[in-house]
Amino acid sequence: MRKIIMLEQDTLPSPEFTQSDSRISALLDHLRQIADLQALGAIAEWDQNTAMPGGAAEVRGFQVAALQGVLHEQWTNPQLGNLLSELHEPIQRSSFTDADRGLVREAQRFQHRATKLPRKLVEELARVQATSFEAWRSAREHSDFARFAPMLNRTITLYREVADHLGFTETRYDALLNQYEPGMTSSKLDKLFAPVRETSRSLLQRIEASGTTIDASYLNGTFPLVQQLTVCEHLLRNMGYDFSRGQMAQSPHPFTTSFGSPFDVRLTVRTLENFLQASLMAAIHEGGHAVYEQGISPSLVRTLLASGASAGAHESQSRLWENAIGRSEPYWQSQFTVVKEAFPAQFAHIDLTSFVRALNKVRPSLIRVEADEVTYNLHIIVRYELEKALVNGNIAVETLPGLWNAKYREYLGIEPTNDAEGVLQDIHWSFGFGYFPTYTLGNLYSAQIFHKLHAVFPDFDQRLASGDTAFALQWLRDHMYIYGATYLPETLIEHITNETPDPQHFTRYLNSKFEKIYGLPATS
């Protein structure tokens, strides 16, 4: 493996800050203080989602708000502003490192946001988000979009103001998108997503026309939670998740968080007694996020760079591990025995190929979080197209349920019968806009990196089948994880794969995988 890595001709330096420059030292002092305080907020959030008693909700709200206030003061501290102005020009000189440049870039981005947004707007947003969340919950409970519409309207109005304060060149939506995916624009996204939409729709139609059905019924049943957690833990260990710098807990919505990467990176899974797939795939998915964070260079600890390069870059790793690796036959060749040992009765007569086919069963559904790889991006593209139009003022909130249903009919061939299983299913719009497309971006980056991994390791599948994931993790660490947020996501993807982001990797991956599974004639 080492030999192959040597042949790769790494051109990026390992991420180190300049020790000798007093401005960099002063900036680091300031930003480390901020990172340490932010970590305390993340600990409180972890606690809120995994342990906090219900009676503590109100008092916890005050605690989190107090920390936000302190952080706002830190970001708007004039000393920090002066330091960043002083460094703005010289930082491009070759005497500074890439990590120095990344640090200044990220600090400017956060400081820009903190100083440009009026405090009143931020406070109003927080209030509206809380009310909006309640309105969304009640609307979903009653399956009645009209209950949510006024708050959604208000949220859109406020985020249009946010976009105006932050600034943008093409569309307002881009300003919001940039919070999660620096450097991305909707015109770039439109180009990246078009082939994904077309390939997904046509592949889905071909699968449905083939008449082939997959039996996945044995993934439903009774699976005691203790055994599920044991399997999750095993899978996480196998993929290199380090429990001495992490922990697995349970929560209603699985998530990964960090309180100082790479030294404390935790994840949660959701266990459902009657549906095994929920916990196993959540473990691998969150494990992907987590090994990314655990692989960040310790030299970046306690800075803004000790995090993923973007939401899309992060999602590329959860998807790479969950889908490209975790739903492949080579992977389960070594791991299926763990599942069989945990649930001997359920899987006694199921062979490996059937199990993997079941994990990959394609079935257009109305619910995004239950979607397979073929239909998943169609769910995202529906949301992306609609939220972009909402923020840019091209459609009215009142028309949303009708447009949602029409797009589902057009893209997935099915249509919600009520708002709860339609436009109201996701929590996201009660908080903001611009996050959804990073899911599909993650899938595109994932396929491109997966393609590269196969090129670097021609025996990738054989190694995986033997139970070895360490070689892949090591390569990903060396070429991606170690840099944290040193580089903008597109630069990073280019470094890893030696090409610009290209959706053809994903469409080829999708066609090739599902043509094989469903016995379809190859497209190319």
Report the residue number, 18 or 33, with the smaller CB distance to a copy of itself: 33
Structure tokens belonging to residue 44: 């409180």
Instruction: Give the residues lining the site for a copy of itself (CB under 8 A).
Output: 32-33, 36-37, 39-41, 43-44, 46-47, 51-56, 58-60, 62-63, 65-67, 69-70, 242-247, 249, 259-260, 263-264, 301-302
Residue 8 CB neighbours (<10 A): 13
In the complex, least distance from residue 107 CB atom to a copy of itself, rounded to whole angstroms: 17
* Catalytic option among 58, 161, 198, 286: 286
In the complex, least distance from residue 133 CB atom to a copy of itself, rounded to whole angstroms: 15
Strands 256-258 and 265-269 turn out to be antiparallel
Report the residue number, 1 or 40, with the smaller CB distance to a copy of itself: 40
How far, rounded to the nearest angstrom, does the alpha carbon of residue 144 sit from its chain's CA centroid? 29
Q: How far apart are CA 504 and CA 81, in angstroms?
A: 43
Residues 296/307, Cβ–Cβ less than 8 Å:
yes
In the complex, least distance from residue 47 CB atom to a copy of itself, rounded to whole angstroms: 5
The DSSP line for 283-299 is HHHHHHHHHHHHTS-GG
Report the residue number, 36 or 141, with the smaller CB distance to a copy of itself: 36
Residues 128/516, Cβ–Cβ less than 8 Å:
no
Residues 19/28, Cβ–Cβ less than 8 Å:
no
Task: For 187, list phi and psi in degrees, rounded to 5.
Answer: -70, -35
Report the residue number, 40 or 216, with the smaller CB distance to a copy of itself: 40
In the complex, least distance from residue 291 CB atom to a copy of itself, rounded to whole angstroms: 14
- Which position has the token pair 């692989």? 295
* Number of helices followed by number of strands (H, E) in the chain: 22, 3
DSSP letter assigned to residue 521? P
Active-site annotation holds for 233: no
Task: For 248, list phi and psi in degrees, rounded to 5.
Answer: -110, 125
In the complex, least distance from residue 64 CB atom to a copy of itself, rounded to whole angstroms: 8
Burial environment of residue 10 by CB neighbours within 10 A (0 to 12, 13 to 18, 19 or more):
exposed
Q: Give the list of residues 6+ apart from residue 158 with CB closer than 8 angstroms, or none.
A: 121, 124, 125, 128
Report the residue number, 125 or 492, with the smaller CB distance to a copy of itself: 125
Q: Which helix (H) or strand (E) holds 448?
A: helix 437-456
Residues noted as catalytic: 286
